[in-house]
Structure 1
Amino acid sequence: MGLLLAGLSLAFAVPEARAQSAASPDLLRQQALALEQQGQFAQAESIWHTLLTQNAKNVEACAHLGLDEARTQNYPEAIQYYRRALALDPSLHGLRLDLALSYFKMGKFPQAIPLLAEELHQHPGDLRLTILLGMAHYGAQQYDKVVPYLKAAAAKEPQSAAIRLPLAQACLWSRQFECVLTTYKQILALNADSAEADMLAGEAYSAQSNTPAAIRQFRAAIQANPNLPQEHFGLGYLLWTQRNYAEAEEQFRDELRISPDDGQSLAYLGDTLMHLGKSDEARASLERAMVLKSSLELAHLDLGILDVNAGHDSAAVAEFHAAIQINPKSTDARWRLARLYQKMGQHQKAAAEFAIVSKMKRESAQSLYLKMAGSHEAQATARQKDATPQ
C-alpha cells in the first residue's frame, strides 16, 4: 500500500511540475500572488522557485522567496534571497527594509543599521524607521547613538512610556545623566508607579555620587514593585557603600529570594556578613557565589581575608592572587597580600607588592590631579569666554 501511495503521489506531482513549467511566467506570477493573498505560502513558494529556475535574474521571485522564508522565521535564508534581489535591483520598493528587518530579528544589528539609515534618509521623519534605527543602535550597544533617534520618536509619541524606558537606559549607559532624569520625569507623568523608571533615576543619581537621592529612588522602585530583579541589589549596594550593613543584608537577601542564583548578590551578601562578624555564613555565601560566578574579585578578596583570620595562609595567598588576576589594579588585594607575605617571613615578595601598591597610588594621585587641573582650566576658559564682549 505504501509503495502504491508513493507511486500515485509521484504520478500527480510530475504533471503538476510539468504544468507549472509549461505555463507562462506571467500566469505563474499571478497564481503565486493569488496564493499568497489566500495564505497558501508553501504553494506560492513552489511557484516562485519555478520562476527563479526559469530566470535566475527574476528580482520579484527572489524578493518573494525572501519574504516567504522570513514568514517562517528562516532569516538566514531570507537574507540570502533579499541580498540577491537587492544586487539585481537596488531600487525595488521595500526590499532594503525587508533585508534590514531580517538582520534586526537575527540580532545582527551592525548589518541592519546602514540599511535602516538609508531608508530613514529617503523617508525623513518616519516614526517606525526612527524607532527601528534607535533600537538597532541599542542592540549594537552604541548607546550614545540611540539617544537622538529615541528622543525624536518620544517627541512624536508623547504618551509612550515604552519608547522612553530604553531612551532612559541609553542615556544612563552613555552617561547623559540629565537626560535620564528628564526622561524619568516624563515616564512618571505617564505612570506614577514605574519601578523601572525609579531604578534608572537611582542609577543616574548614584553615578553622579548623589547617594541619598539614589537611595530614595531605589526605595521608591521597591515600593512600586517589590519583585523587580536587581532593585533590591541596587539598594543593598548603596547601603553597603554607606556601611549600613544591617539593612544591606536584608536587601541582598530579598534580591536572592527573587534571583537565588545571582552570584553578585551572594558575593555582596558574603562581604556584608563578614563585616557583621558572621564569618561562617559569610564563607558559605562567598563559596556559593564562586560556584555560580568564579570571576568575582570581591569574593576572592573576602575569602582571602577569612582565610587569613582562620590562619590558612597558603589558601589566602591563592585567593589574593586570584583577585589580582581578575583586577590587576586592585590595591586592596595587593596590600593584603604584601602584609600576608610579611607575616609569613617572605620579605622580598612583601617588598615587591608594597612597591607596586605605592606606584599605583602615586599614579592614581597624578591622574586625579591632572583631571582636576583640566577641569579648572576648562572652567576658567568658559568664564573668560562669558566675560568677553560679543
Structure 2
Amino acid sequence: MAALACGQFVFAQTDMKPDTSALEQQGQNAEAAAAWRAYSAHHAGEAEPYAHIGQLEARQGHFAEAIAAYRKAMVIAPAMPALRPNLGLAYFKNGDYKQAIEMFSPMLKADPGDQRVTLLVGMSHYGLSEYAAATPYLKRAADADTQNLELQLTLAHSCLFAKEYQCVLDAFHRIIALNAESAEADMLVGEALDEMHDPLGAQKEFRAAIAVDPEQPNVHFGLGYLLWTKAQYGEATEQFEAEIQNNPQHVLAMLYLADTQMKTGKTEQSRASLEKLVKLIPQNAMAHRDLGTLYADAGQNDAAVMELKEAIRLTPKDAASHWRLARLYRAMGRADDARAEFEKTNSLNNAEDERLIKVMGMPPPEKPDAPEKK
C-alpha cells in the first residue's frame, strides 16, 4: 500500500549551488548528495542543502539519513515548501508511523480534502495496528478512488480488525465489482459473518473463496477452523490437510489438525505432531494442553502434569487446562491438589458466566427460595 502514496513531493527549482541536476538526471544520487554535503559544511545555516540531501537520500532508499537531513532543514526553515510532507513521507517509508502522523496531521487539518495525505494518515494508523483510527481515513480515500482494488481490500481488512462488520460488507461489494472472483474478499466476508455469529454464512463464503482460488493462503485453514468450532472434525481435518499441502510450514494448521486427530481417535498421529509442535511453538498453550491430555490418557502422569502446568502458566484463565489437571491429580490419588484445581475450574467458569450475563445485559439469576419445612 505504500506504493499508493509514496511519490516525492517536489521542491521548487532554485539557482543555489552546487548545480547537481546533471548528476541527478544520470541517477548519480550519491554523488549529488556528496556535493550538497560538501556545500553544507560551509553553509550550515542554510536549509536548502539539507533539503536536497534529504531528497537524494530518500531516492536511494536511505530513509534514516533522509530523515536526519530533513530535520536539520526543519530547524532552520520550518516553513520551507514541501519540507514537512517530504519528512512525513520519509517517516512513513521508514516505518516511523507515529512521527508520520505528527507531520501529516497539521497538513490534513489545513486541507481536509487532500486525498494523498488522507491515505498516508490512514495507512500510518493501519501500520500501528490502530484500526479504529485508520478506518475513517481509509474510507475517505477509498470513496475517492473506487477503482483501486488494493485500497478497497486494505479498507476491508481495517474494518474487520476494527470490528466494523457492515463496513466489511460494504467494501466487499466494491471489491466484487472490481474483481468478481476475489477469494480474499470472500474470506474477509466469511470472517466478518463469523464475528456476526452467522457460522453458516461464514462457511459459505470460505467455500466460495476455495472455489475461486484453492491455493489462497489461509483459505482452507479458515474453513477448517469454522468447522472445528462446530465439532465437524472429519471435514475440518480435510481442510487442515489441504492448507498444509499448500503451505507445509503452516503451524496453526498443523496444531488444529493434531487436535482433530486427537478428538477422532488418531492418537499416535496426534501425539507425534504435538511433540514436534511444542518445540516449534513453545508459547502455544493449546499444544501443551493437548499433549498433556494424550500423556495422561497413556498413563504417563509425570509428563502429563508437566505439559498441563505449562499450558496453565501460558494461559492461567483457561478452565479446560485446570479441569484436565484436576482429573489427572484425582487419578493419581493427589486429592488435595485435585480439589484445588477443581475449585479454580469452577471459579473460572463462574467468572465467565458472569461476564456473559453482563455482555448480554441480562439480570443475574435469582436464588431459589428455600423449601418450606413440612
* TM-score normalized by the length of structure 2: 0.90
Q: Are 1:158 and 2:138 an aligned pair?
A: no
* Structure 1 counterpart of 2:105, one-letter code: A
List gaps (5 residues or longer) in structure 2.
Answer: 1-13, 365-374
Question: SS of the counterpart of 2:147?
Answer: coil
Q: Output the CA distance in 1 between the equivalents of 2:312 and 2:42.
A: 66
CA RMSD of aligned residues (A): 1.8
Structure 1 equivalent of residue 125 of structure 2: 137
> Aligned partners of 1:173 and 1:35: how far apart in 2?
46
Q: How do residues 308-387 of structure 1 correspond to structure 2 at under 5 angstroms? A: 308-373=296-361
Question: Given the alignment of the two structures, is residue 105 of structure 1 paired with residue 67 of structure 2, yes or no?
Answer: no
Q: Deviation above 4 Å: which 4+ runs of structure 1?
A: none
Q: CA deviation at 1:31?
A: 1.8
Which deviates the most, 121-130 or 131-140?
121-130
Are 1:288 and 2:291 an aligned pair?
no
CA shift at 1:375, angstroms? 10
Preserved contact between residue 267 and residue 294 of structure 2 (Cα < 8 Å): yes
Match of 1:89 among 71, 77, 82: 77
Q: Give distance in 2, aligned partners of 1:81 and 1:182.
A: 43
CA distance 1:359–1:75, shift in 2 (3 Å): same
Matched, 1:147 2:138: no
CA contact (8 A) 1:261 1:292 kept: no
Between the aligned partners of 1:152 and 1:56, the Cα distance in structure 2 is 42
Q: CA deviation at 1:132?
A: 1.3
Contact 1:28–1:47 under 8 Å retained in 2:
no
User: Does the alignment pair 1:242 with 2:227?
Assistant: no
What aligned pairs does 1:1-390 form with structure 2 within 5 A after superposition? 29=17, 31-373=19-361
Return the offset for 1:374: 7.0
The answer on whether the counterparts of 1:331 and 1:360 sit within 8 Å (CA) in structure 2 is yes
Q: TM-score, normalised by structure 1?
A: 0.86
Post-superposition CA distance 1:1-44 (Å, at most 9, x none): xxxxxxxxxxxxxxxxxxxxxxxxx9761523454345443342
**Is 55-64 or 123-132 further displaced after alignment?**
123-132
Q: Give distance in 1, aligned partners of 2:113 and 2:272.
A: 56
Distance 2:202 2:15 in 1: 68
Q: Distance in 2 between matches of 1:103 and 1:27?
A: 28
SS at match of 2:249: coil
Distance in structure 1 (CA, Å) of the matches to 2:113 and 2:363: 38
2: CA distance, partners of 1:375 / 1:230:
40
Q: Distance in 2 between matches of 1:161 and 1:362?
A: 47
1:51 Cα offset (Å): 2.0
Which is higher, the Rg of structure 1 or of structure 2? 1
Residues matched between the structures, number:
351
Partners of 1:305 and 1:133 in 2: CA distance: 48
SS of structure 2 residue aligned to 1:29: coil
Question: Per residue, is there more helix in 1 or in 2?
Answer: 1
Q: Is the 8 A contact 1:172 1:204 kept in 2?
A: yes
